[in-house]
A and B are shown apart, each in its own frame.
Chain A
Amino acid sequence: MDKFRDCGDIKKDLRYLYTVQFWVFLVSRNANRGERKSRERERGAMAEDLVLDTAIRDWVLIPLSVVMVLIGVLRYFVSKLMRSAQIPDAKLVKEGQVIVRARNLRAAANFIPPKSFRARRLYYSNEENGLLYVPKGQAPNAQAQMFSDPNMAMDMMKKNLSMIIPQTLTFAWVNFFFSGFVAAKIPFPLTQRFRAMLQNGIDLSTVDVSYVSSRSWYFLNLFGLRGLFSIILGEENATDDTQRMMQMTGFGFDPTKSLGAEKDGLDIVQHDWTMPKFERRAEAVLRKLVR
């Protein structure tokens, strides 16, 4: 006869397995209980008003919202940590500052005497060594270099992934656990066309379109919690659109175009010195005081 094997390890594994199964069972049991009750009542009273099980509120609505808020906060902190490891490129920063200076000159052009304004403008748009002047041959090179720069590509990938992965995971989780029953009622009526979009787990066609599945509750949370995040997490955070991501990557890619745009803007400015008018205004104010 063989010796008995040592059962100590197996006990630990079994304990772990039972714990996991218990939680899965608990969640799915509560979800199913809600589904059964709502289905019974639906068959009984084909009326407008469904009474849904309290368990749905306890185990679906609130946990889903809490989880989404927590994931948003987590994503914010993770992106902050990952971003701090990035060292900005010296050349890019210099060009950015030059653009800012040129823009300030353009905005405040009317407050300096004409001669000094022209001197400054020449400094920027001089053909030989002006700061804003870029010969045509260099422009496409800079762009190609930006594209093939591995750091930039990695950065974009990281930002994209850090937004898409939590959304995909949460959506898969919602679909797996919380499908097949009525989750919430939207307080306003919708047309029949929304039925396919909002009620995809529910297979009854006589239920009011206002009764939606948990998938639509997930999307409602996704859009509605953005405002909450902007209040909780302070300034604008990465939980918003992909538009800002596009903007940021776009800025890095074409500094030469913005230089050219600044130079054109500077050339267009008509200088209109406001000092004489300010003297008149000061005179008017003083007269009022004296009177």
Chain B
Amino acid sequence: MIHFVLLISRQGKVRLTKWYSPYSQKERSKVIRELSGVILSRGPKLSNFVEWRGYKVVYKRYASLYFCMCIDQDDNELEILEIIHHFVEILDRYFGSVCELDLIFNFHKAYYVLDEVLIAGELQESSKKTVARLIAAQDSLVETAKEQANSISNMIAQATK
């Protein structure tokens, strides 16, 4: 099971966090501090795994962003590495050549994507197509809702003028 997902920039800034196991706010900060210290200082040729407090953390660097997932002792690290890549590919499709900036300003959208990829700490859907379709469906609904909201607020604005 995946206990949490972290996206950390090379400078140690947090870009996204998702916790599938209960951690208090204090623990979360501690975990992030500890792990970013360990992971960011690792050399490029070393393995993508870190043993940490009886868990394993699998990380992978894309451009300047580190994607980290914390898993149990008996999980398959290589599989998690591919789950990370799967997630990045879906992000890439969704944002169109995703870059760190997309995730900085659209972190909530990245959360929606993540929610379709992982659920309750497990890979939910391994078909990129299915995931993309679902997110698109949600977004199209949101778009129409937005338009409606816009038109309503316009009307209100005009009415109150």
Are the chains A and B members of one assembly?
Answer: no
Residues of A within 8 A of B (CB): none
